[in-house]
Structure 1
Amino acid sequence: MFEFLRSYILYLALLSGIVGLLSLPKLPGYKARFLVLFIWFSILIEIVGYYFTYWTGLLNYYVYNFYMFVSFIAYILLIRSLLQKINYRTAAIFCLLLFIIAFFLNMIYFKENTNRSFTYSFAIGVVLIVILSCLYLIEIFNSDKILNFKRSVFFWYVLGILVFHVPFTPFMLAIDWFLIKQDESVFSLVLFILNFLAYACYIIGFLWSEKKYNY
């Protein structure tokens, strides 16, 4: 019934990417502009993922596992660049190494069937992102940035990451652990709603942020 919604995720990403391009004048540094670049990378992945089976005859898990690997590395490095305390930045490097190790262990463990979603790597990545995001928010709330945190595109981007990944993780684990039959209609609906919330956060960040808070 709701299977068609999955195809609309691309339009959400396109809208967010276009708003990001229009907002480039108030995205001064490489970190801020990286957000726009990564959204367009996500758009490319959505297009490739959509046609991958048609092109190769294989399921598109290969595409999305690759995207998961790249995206979590990008998220960790982004949050690390936002952290100020040395011990927090060191913790981010530790999280990065832990995720990379977990991903390749997941790949080795399921080497007989790599054409599946790396659920455990995803879950570990989300836990690490939540930890680093909490450190980022602690720094904000313990500094003068608390007065204008909503004017920073980075706050909204990190919020968007959390809004999508935190609710989606138990949904994925429930399917994997309890062997719940994946209903494509329900899956597409959940995926669309979470993407809608995430891209809405990105768009709000681009529109509400101010240049002086985006360095």
Structure 2
Amino acid sequence: MLHYIYPVLIVSTLLVGLFNREKIKGKIIFSLLYFLFFSVLVEVSGPLISKFLDIKSFFVYNTYFLVSILFYNYLFKAYLTSKKTKKTLNLLTIGYVLFIVLNHFLMQDYYHSFQTNSAIYSGIFAIIAVGAYYFESLNSDKVLYAKKSLLFWVSLGLLLFQIGIIPIYIFAEYLNFSGIFDYILLTLNFILYGCMMIGFVVSERAHN
């Protein structure tokens, strides 16, 4: 039952974004709407593939992590000024692609298992990207109007989500999370997309 909530949550975020699209029209952050649409497709297609095609849909979610790291690399680089930091993010992204391949052949099959190792890598990348964005913001006048920036709210939700989910990925095989994992994941998703919705509403075009 809980898995039905995720598409509704993401669609709600997408609709709030579309309603406030004039604030981000023509801006790099507008690409977030496309990413949200892709996220909806993932959440809808995953269960449908398993149910109607009778095949494992792990590859759908593993592909999501690949697309997400490419998206966040593109998004945060657009708002960073340090060439060194941008280069670091590019190298980490290339490293992620190589890691997926190695993980597939050596540990977790891309098509038949959920690649928790890749998910952890993706999460660490997101934290690094957010950290770089915050560091630059704190050393510029961006910090003065951070709450009016959609990227601030996106980065806040992303940071809180990854801080919460990475430990679960790491310790899931050692601890029994079966009873509460779904609720923890749901709570983290509400935080992630809740922050995005707040950002769409309170942000101002001049600061996006």
TM-score scaled by structure 2?
Answer: 0.94
Shift of 1:55: 2.2
Counterpart residue type for residue 6 of structure 2: I
Distance 1:30 1:103, change over 3 A: farther
Shift of 1:181: 4.4
SS of the equivalent of 1:172 reads helix
Shift of 1:208: 0.6
Please give the alpha-carbon distance, in whole angstroms, between the structure 2 residues aligned to 1:164 and 1:54. 28
Counterpart residue type for residue 78 of structure 1: L
Shift of 1:111: 6.4
* Contact 2:28 2:75 survives alignment (8 Å): yes
Please give the alpha-carbon distance, in whole angstroms, between the structure 1 residues aligned to 2:162 and 2:4. 19
Counterpart residue type for residue 71 of structure 1: S
Counterpart residue type for residue 128 of structure 1: F
Shift of 1:139: 0.4
Equivalent residue pairs, number: 208
Among residues 161, 166, 174, which one is paired with 2:163 in the alignment?
166
Aligned pair 1:204/2:207, yes or no? no
Aligned partner of 2:180 in structure 1 is 186
Deviations along 1:15-50, one digit per CA (max 9) or x if unpaired, are: 101000001111133412111111111011111012
Shift of 1:203: 0.2
Aligned partner of 1:79 in structure 2 is 76
Please give the alpha-carbon distance, in whole angstroms, between the structure 2 residues aligned to 1:172 and 1:90. 28
Q: Which runs of 5+ in 1 are unaligned?
A: none
**What is the CA RMSD across the aligned residues, in angstroms?**
1.6
Aligned pair 1:89/2:86, yes or no? yes
Counterpart residue type for residue 190 of structure 2: F
Counterpart residue type for residue 23 of structure 1: N
* Contact 1:19 1:203 survives alignment (8 Å): yes
* Contact 2:57 2:111 survives alignment (8 Å): no
Aligned counterparts, 1:111-122, within 5 A: 114-122=111-119
Please give the alpha-carbon distance, in whole angstroms, between the structure 1 residues aligned to 2:129 and 2:192. 18
Please give the alpha-carbon distance, in whole angstroms, between the structure 2 residues aligned to 1:138 and 1:40. 30
Distance 1:161 1:112, change over 3 A: closer
Please give the alpha-carbon distance, in whole angstroms, between the structure 1 residues aligned to 2:20 and 2:100. 34
Please give the alpha-carbon distance, in whole angstroms, between the structure 1 residues aligned to 2:151 and 2:68. 16
TM-score scaled by structure 1?
Answer: 0.91
Distance 1:5 1:62, change over 3 A: same
Distance 1:112 1:50, change over 3 A: closer
Aligned partner of 1:60 in structure 2 is 57
Please give the alpha-carbon distance, in whole angstroms, between the structure 2 residues aligned to 1:64 and 1:114. 10
Distance 1:213 1:58, change over 3 A: same
